[in-house]
A and B are shown apart, each in its own frame.
Chain A
Amino acid sequence: MNSNSAESPISLRAAAEVHVVTPPSLLDLWRNLFALYQYFALFRVLVWRFVVIRYLQSVLGIVWVALQPVGTTAVILFMFGIVKVSPGDGANNGLFLLAGLVTWQFFSRALQDATGSLTGNSGILTKIYLPKLIFPLAAATAACLDLAVMLVILLASVLLFGNGVTERIVFLPVFVALVLLFGFALGTMLSPINALYRDVGFLLGFGLQFWMYLTPVLYSARFVPEQYKSQYYLNPMATLVEGIRWSLLVDSPPPAFVFLAINIFTIVFVLIAALLIFQKLESDVVDRI
């Protein structure tokens, strides 16, 4: 018997013993969702890789994440300081802006990275079998590291410059999770379309800017005329940004909970649609990418 360790078998990840290769079908969605669980080890490495690759070759690395919203806040405070127009309704305009910008940056990072996750990994998905859903999922999850860094800055600022936090902070993870879920769902919907038509990625960059102005990030929803409010809050991000402000800043008004319910329904609807679209297109993506 050869004792060379090269002879000892390496166990592969547990997979179904009998695998049937069939033409693509929407019903595979269940199998693919289940496969995500089996590929958890790979998922972890992919998240790590998304993070590492982005900050490789930069001196400040992850610090850049924090600098972006802080810098934008500083610039806007400076601008509004000159023209003397108050953008927010809280006691502290800086915290108001920072909370909005952090939320928006987290959302757009998760959405954009998930959208580009198939094209960015075409070399892998055309050479190795994987449940393809793992790419937008890992990309959106990797955005959480950005959020963690930004939240540290935000909380420190709240404690330093604000009036402290209240027990409302327990709702913060709920709103964060909804933002992440929404970004992941939209990104999952767009990622296969982007792989087939790269135009999506360019449009998204433009669309996100436009969208930010439809969301109370740099201004208070107070300024939205009353007769448009019911349409205004159909945008889930409008409620979620206000929700995050409410859970962190003492002087922020609560979000409209009726709209929150509608928004959650919207997000779940988008998620289901996204999974179906993804499933429908994923085999085309491998063929044509």
Chain B
Amino acid sequence: MQPAIIADGLSKRFFIRTGEVSTKFSSRAAGWLRPEFKLERKPLWALNDVNFDVAQGEILGIIGRNGSGKSTLLKVLSGIMRPTRGNALVRGRIGALLEVGTGFHPDMTGRENVFFNGILLGMSRDDIRSKFDEIVAFAEVEKFIDMQIKHFSSGMQARLGFAVAAHLRPEILVVDEVLSVGDILFQEKSIARMGEMRKSSITTLFVSHNLNSVAAICDRSILLDRGMVKALGATRDVIDKFVPPVVGGKARAEFDSNGSSGPARLICAALECEDGTPVDQFDIAEDIWLRVRYTVKVPLAAFQLSVRVRVGHDILFQTDDTDQHTVLGIHSPGLFEKRLKIRNMFLKEGDYAVSILSGIPLQLLEEHDDILQFSVVARSMSTEFKSFRRERPGKIIFQGEWLGPSKP
């Protein structure tokens, strides 16, 4: 079967004003009136030589950080924006849902807005008329449909917008995280609707920040990084490229002294067992100690450390050092260290990554992602029949207590 979409070297260049002052006379003259016009406009490649195919009926996920070009890619494919270079072939009528309720006007009634939005999205007047009651019922706004939508709550507006979109049947669907509208009950309804659409084998491009929903819905995915395709393939592998799995161990880390202009600086961090020897593998019944060393250059009202522990794609927790003592004292200059204990029998077997952040109130000074890595293994006991064995769901060891049985 022919692919539904073929992207061939798609590139998109924007010009953005940078921090540099332009030397052109015209810019200087304009800058005299409006300071921001003085800045030079520099090219930024939001998409850079993007190539991929999408098969008929396939659901392709697009992931990447903010500003990696995901939305630009959707806009270029749906024809809203034109590429700077390259081209794409799209077989079939495309329906783009880049936001819900496009073109809603607050002074028009719900009914008028449904018609306008539906026609914008490509439905015919008769289509909308025949689906109207269904749309309104889906959005749960029957009682309000003839009111101006400025009197709707924002949740109701979003629901109405999604309801119109959910009744579209394009051949190719392009979705940009429109699922996150409305309350939790409505979100479930929307996800169920997406599932239905999935079964109807509509070719779909799905952009989301929620890696779990991408993993659940998409067969293949693309990872974009600064406009370039960094990975393309089975969703699992692509997600692993995006958020690398924790492998091996790293018990010690030195922080380089570059950019040490701040009032304080992290020097090194290490994972240790209780006696202070650095290790990257801990027994499940052993305490884990994290030691962080830092210098303070000028007297500070406060200096804060924060530690983040990740397993797989999920952040397990992020601690501060201010939980026990909320009033922070003056921090005098000098070399210091702090130790954090992660209790034994808390982390399940697995591979973990540690991020370390430092800051002063309202300002983040340093952030070191996944700077240390360690694993927890079961040496001293077998977890085979335990509730917290590795294969079971759950991320931590819960040491709750059952009471009873007793007669109620």
Contacts and interface: CB of A to CB of B under 8 A. Distances in A.
Interface stretch (B79-87, B240-248, B377-385, B399-407): B79-87
B107 A56 contact: yes
B48 to A, nearest CB: 14
Interface string B139-164: 00000000000000000000000000
A129 B80 contact: yes
B81 A52 contact: no
A23 B96 contact: no
Interface of B: 10, 14, 75-96, 98-99, 102-103, 105, 107-108, 112, 115-116, 119-125, 127, 130-131, 134, 167-170, 196, 200
B79 A19 contact: yes
A21 interface: yes
8 contacts: A12-B170, A18-B90, A21-B10, A21-B76, A21-B79, A22-B83, A127-B99, A128-B120
Interface residues of A, number: 37
Interface of A: 5-7, 9-13, 15, 17-24, 41-42, 45, 49, 52-53, 56-57, 121, 123-130, 283, 286-287
A104 B388 CA distance: 81
A41 B87 contact: no
Contacts of A129: 78-80, 94, 96
Contacts of B77: 21
Give 10 closest A-B pairs by Cβ, nearest first. Answer: A129-B79, A21-B88, A12-B122, A9-B169, A283-B82, A24-B82, A56-B107, A19-B90, A12-B93, A22-B87
A62 to B, nearest CB: 16
A17 B93 CA distance: 6
A214 B85 CA distance: 47
Contacts of A17: 91-93
Given A41-B125, A283-B82, A19 B94 contact: yes
A20 B87 contact: yes
Residue among B83, B87, B95, B103 with max Cβ neighbours from chain A (10 Å): B103
Contact of B82 (A15, A18, A23, A53): A23
B95 A20 contact: no
Contact of A11 (B78, B87, B127): B127
B83 A23 contact: yes
A68 B81 CA distance: 41
B105 A53 contact: yes
Contacts of A128: 80, 96, 98, 102-103, 120-121
A8 to B, nearest CB: 8
Residue among B120, B122, B196 with max Cβ neighbours from chain A (10 Å): B122
Given A10-B131, A49-B105, A42 B168 contact: no
A30 to B, nearest CB: 16
A49 B116 contact: yes
Residue among B80, B86, B168 with max Cβ neighbours from chain A (10 Å): B80
A42 B122 CA distance: 8
Given A22-B87, A45-B119, A56-B108, A126 B80 contact: yes
A128 B116 CA distance: 13
A22 B78 contact: no
